[in-house]
Amino acid sequence: MEKTTKKENLSPNGKQKKNFRKKGPIRLSKLKYEEKVVQIKRVTKVVKGGKKMTFRAIVIVGDNKRKVGVGIGRAEDVNLAIEKATLNGKKNLINVPLTNQLSIPHVIYSSFGACKIMLRPSKPGTGVIAGGSIRTVLELAGIKNVVGKQFGSSNILNNAKATILALTGLNSKVELASYQSSRRSIFYEKIMKKYKNVTASAQ
């Protein structure tokens, strides 16, 4: 038997080369997300030569299955600003805990700047009762039954960011999915009664 030597994997120094396969990052463009342009605003900046005009786009990105994000993009062209905003929104995605009734686990308050919002779970068939950018964020997150109320300023960007902060502040331990047992649903109903009693006493 003749011995065969592999000279292909040898470097010029005579040492054996190590083959490392580089795993490339998952491209966000390949993942399917729904995009909604909330606002396109013209912004002017005073510079040395005069005034420079750019466009700012606010886009909300979500997959209707617990993932949602808000993105901002600025460019001299509207289409380029929208592309930058969608890419920024895909980078800042969050996971939202949902219940069996496609609602949020409990009542939560949040604020961003001068904007204050309140989100409250509701029964099946209620739908998304909210306005402005809050409604868009909740719909793209996959929430079907919820009541939202905004207080203070009606700024579109600040209300969207306040909604994102509220969704990140939800208690994921109370989350109920379709694969969980009926004991968890009884536990969830007890917690909901406590929240109802607290809100009733506060009023």
132, 105: one domain: yes
Q: To the nearest 10°, report the CA torsion of 155, 80, 34, 131.
A: 10
Residue 182 belongs to a domain: yes
* 102: alpha, beta or left? (left if phi > 0; alpha if psi -120 to 50): left
CATH number at residue 64: 3.30.160.20
Q: Which residues contact 56 (CB under 8 A, 6 or more apart)?
A: 39, 40, 41, 42, 43, 72, 73, 74, 81
How is residue 57 annotated by DSSP?
A: E
**Per-position pLDDT tens, the chain of length 203:** 445 544 555 555 555 555 545 555 555 455 688 899 999 999 998 988 889 999 999 999 998 888 999 999 999 999 999 999 999 999 999 999 888 888 888 889 999 989 999 999 888 888 999 988 999 999 999 999 999 999 988 899 999 999 999 999 887 666 554 445 566 667 667 776 766 665 555 54
User: Which of 94, 109, 134 is the last residue before a domain boundary?
Assistant: 94
* Residue 87: per-residue pLDDT: 93
Look at residues 46, 76, 94 and tell me which one is the last residue of a structural domain: 94
Asked whether residue 79 is domain-assigned, the answer is yes
* Residue 3 belongs to a domain: no
* The last residue of a domain, from among 43, 63, 94: 94
Phi, psi of 55 (to 5 degrees): -115, 140
Q: Which domain covers residue 138, as residue numbers?
A: 97-202
3-state DSSP of 84-117: HHHHHHHHCCEECCCCCCCCCCCCEEEEECCEEE
Residue 7 placed within a domain: no
28 exposure class (CB count in 10 Å sphere: 0-12, 13-18, 19+): middle
Q: For the chain, what is the domain count?
A: 2
Cα atoms found within 13 Å of the Cα of residue 168, Cβ hemisphere only:
14
Q: What is the CATH number of the domain that holds 126?
A: 3.30.230.10
70 & 120 share domain: no
Predicted local confidence at residue 33, as pLDDT: 85
pLDDT at 17: 53
| pTM of the predicted protein model | 0.69
